C-alpha cells in the first residue's frame, strides 16, 4: 500500500492505495518555473507577440485600465501588478491615470479585502478599483450585435482609457476552448444578457475543451470583443502557472496572436496522454480556490471523466467552502431532478446558473461521482452526486458497489489543470 496526499480546500486529504492497481498519476510535465518574476514580466512586455514593445505603445500621460481576475481563478496578480504599474510610472503614466476593473462575469461582487488580496495591498491603495457587476444595466455600453445575435454590452469602465491591458492566466475551458485572452472582456466585463446569450452556445456539440475553430462560444466571444476593440489599444498579459501556482511562462502582446501562442503552450503543459481509462479516478481540484464551490469544481469533473471508463467512478476532492456558488444552480437541480429534464429546460430557455446544473449533471451519465467534501449532504444528493463523504476511504468503500472489489485507478492531484488525452 502507498500513501497519497492531495490538496483539499486550504489543507490536504490523505489515503492509501495498492500501488500496483494505479494505472497512472496524471501530473503536469516537468517545466522549470520562472525564477525572476519581475524580469519575466518586463521581458514579456518589451518583447511582445504581434505588437510593438510597451514603450512604443504607451506614452506619457496616457490612461490605462487593467482587467484583473476575480478570486475564483488563480492569477497571482499580486506578483505582476506592482511590476506593471511601476513600469508604466517610469514611462510617464501616473497612478491617477490608471485603474483596475475586476472581471467578475456573472460571479458575486468582490469585497475590498479580496481586491487587496488579489492585486496586493500596495497597488490597491494606489489605483482606483471597480467590480464589473453584470446586473447593473447603466454600467454598460452597447457595441452592436454579433452574427449570432449576441448583444455586445461592455462595462463602461473599460471603454474610455487610451489602453486596456487584459491580465490573467490561461487554462483549458470545458466549453469555450481556453480561458484567458478575450474572456477578460466577454464574459468578464460583459452584461448579464451578453453572457447569457454567448454561453447558450455551450449546448452546441462543437463547443468543447481545447477547441477554438468551429466552437460557437469561442467564435462569438471573439466577434463580440472585436466589436468593442475596434480602434482601441488592447494589450494581452497572460501567464501560465503550474500546479503549485508558480509562473511557467508569460505571454504579452496582441490580444489575439499572443493568446494563440499561449494556448499552444497550455496544450503542452496541461495535456497528459493516458493508455487506457480507469475504473476509478481520484481527482483533486488542486485545493482553494479551485474547489471554492461547485461552480468551480465542475471544471475538474470535466477533466476527471476523461480518465474514467463509462460507468466508472470519479472520487472528487472538493471542499466547497462557499457551497454551490449559485442559487439558480441549486434551484434548477431541485426543481427538475434529472439530467435530461435540466437539459430540456435549458434548451427551451437558457439561464445563467442553470447552465451549471446542466454542466454538472450531464457528466453523471458518463460516470458515478462521489464527493469528498464539506458540501451539504442533501444538496449533493439534489445535484445527482452518488455520495458525499468526509474521507477518501469512505468514498472508496462506496465506489465498490459500482466497480467491484478489484478496480484500477488513475490519480489526478491537480485535476482542474491536467487534461487526460486517451491514446487513439
Pairwise CA distance, residues 195 & 188, whole Å: 9
Report the pLDDT value the prediction gives residue 72, as an integer from 0 to 100. 79
Say yes or no to pLDDT of 56 above 80: yes
- Tell me the pLDDT tens digit for each residue of 189-221: 999 999 999 999 999 999 999 999 999 999 999
* Total residues found in the chain within this entry: 424
Pairwise CA distance, residues 197 & 351, whole Å: 9
Q: Domains of the chain (ranges plus CATH)?
A: 2-28+271-422 (3.90.226.30), 37-241 (3.40.50.11440)
Phi, psi angles (nearest 5°) of residue 162: -65, -35
- Tell me the pLDDT tens digit for each residue of 171-180: 999 999 999 9
Phi, psi angles (nearest 5°) of residue 334: -70, -35
At 237 the three-state DSSP class reads: strand
Report the pLDDT value the prediction gives residue 424, as an integer from 0 to 100. 67
DSSP 17-77: E-GGGEEEE------PPPS-HHHHHHHHHHS-BSS--HHHH--TT--EEEEEE-TTS---H
Q: Which ranges in 278-418 belong to alpha helices (H)?
A: 294-305, 327-336, 339-348, 354-361, 377-382, 392-403
pLDDT averaged over the chain? 96
Using alpha carbons, select from 78, 128, 73, 79 the residue that is nearest to residue 103.
73
Q: What is the pTM of this model?
A: 0.90
Pairwise CA distance, residues 304 & 317, whole Å: 11
At 407 the three-state DSSP class reads: coil
Name beta bridge partners: 167: 237
Planar angle of CA 342, 348, 354, nearest 5 degrees: 40
Say yes or no to pLDDT of 119 above 90: yes
| 170 within 8 A of 266, measured Cβ to Cβ | yes
Pairwise CA distance, residues 327 & 250, whole Å: 36
Average pLDDT, integer, range 290-315: 96
| 236 within 8 A of 251, measured Cβ to Cβ | yes
- Tell me the pLDDT tens digit for each residue of 70-87: 987 888 999 999 999 999
Q: Across 84-180, where does the E strand assignment appear?
A: 98-103, 128-131, 140-145, 151-155, 163-169, 172-173, 177-178
Say yes or no to pLDDT of 31 above 80: yes
Amino acid at each position: 500500500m502507498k500513501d497519497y496526499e492531495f490538496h483539499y480546500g486550504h489543507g490536504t486529504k490523505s489515503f492509501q492505495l495498492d500501488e500496483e492497481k494505479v494505472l497512472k498519476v496524471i501530473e503536469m510535465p516537468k517545466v522549470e518555473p520562472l525564477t525572476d518574476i519581475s524580469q519575466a514580466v518586463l521581458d514579456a512586455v518589451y518583447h511582445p507577440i504581434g505588437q510593438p514593445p510597451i514603450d512604443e505603445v504607451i506614452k506619457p500621460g496616457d490612461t490605462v485600465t487593467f482587467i484583473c481576475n476575480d478570486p475564483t481563478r488563480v492569477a497571482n496578480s499580486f506578483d505582476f501588478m506592482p511590476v506593471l504599474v511601476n513600469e508604466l510610472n517610469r514611462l510617464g503614466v501616473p497612478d491617477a491615470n490608471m485603474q483596475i476593473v475586476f472581471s467578475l462575469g456573472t460571479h458575486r461582487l468582490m469585497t475590498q479585502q479580496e481586491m487587496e488580496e488579489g492585486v496586493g495591498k500596495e497597488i490597491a491603495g494606489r489605483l482606483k478599483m471597480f467590480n464589473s457587476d453584470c446586473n447593473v444595466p447603466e454600467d454598460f455600453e452597447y457595441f452592436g450585435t454579433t452574427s449570432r445575435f449576441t448583444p455586445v454590452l461592455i462595462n463602461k469602465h473599460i471603454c474610455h482609457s487610451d489602453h486596456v491591458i487584459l491580465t490573467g492566466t490561461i487554462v483549458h475551458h470545458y466549453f469555450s476552448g481556453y480561458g484567458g485572452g478575450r474572456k477578460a472582456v466577454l464574459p468578464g466585463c460583459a452584461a448579464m444578457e451578453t453572457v447569457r446569450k454567448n454561453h447558450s452556445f455551450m449546448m452546441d456539440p462543437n463547443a468543447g475543451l481545447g477547441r477554438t475553430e468551429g466552437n460557437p462560444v469561442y467564435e462569438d466571444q471573439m466577434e463580440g470583443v472585436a466589436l468593442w476593440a475596434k480602434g482601441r489599444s488592447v494589450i494581452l498579459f497572460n501567464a501560465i502557472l503550474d500546479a503549485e501556482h508558480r509562473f511557467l511562462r508569460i505571454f504579452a502582446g496582441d490580444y489575439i496572436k499572443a493568446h494563440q501562442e499561449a494556448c499552444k503552450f497550455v496544450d503542452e503543459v496541461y495535456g497528459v496522454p493516458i493508455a487506457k481509462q480507469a475504473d476509478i479516478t481520484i481527482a483533486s481540484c488542486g485545493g482553494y480556490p479551485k474547489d471554492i464551490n461547485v461552480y468551480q469544481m465542475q471544471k475538474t469533473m470535466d477533466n476527471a471523466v476523461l480518465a474514467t471508463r463509462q460507468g466508472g467512478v470519479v472520487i472528487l476532492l472538493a471542499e466547497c467552502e462557499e457551497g454551490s456558488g449559485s442559487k439558480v444552480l441549486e434551484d434548477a437541480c431541485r426543481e427538475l431532478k434529472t439530467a435530461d429534464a435540466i437539459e430540456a429546460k435549458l434548451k427551451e430557455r437558457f439561464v445563467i446558473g442553470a447552465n451549471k446544473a446542466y454542466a454538472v449533471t450531464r457528466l453523471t451519465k458518463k460516470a458515478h461521482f462521489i464527493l469528498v467534501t464539506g458540501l451539504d449532504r442533501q444538496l449533493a444528493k439534489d445535484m445527482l452526486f452518488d455520495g458525499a463523504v468526509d474521507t477518501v476511504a469512505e468514498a472508496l468503500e462506496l465506489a465498490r458497489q459500482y466497480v467491484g472489489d478489484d478496480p484500477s485507478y488513475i490519480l489526478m492531484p491537480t485535476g482542474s489543470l491536467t487534461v487526460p488525452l486517451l491514446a487513439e
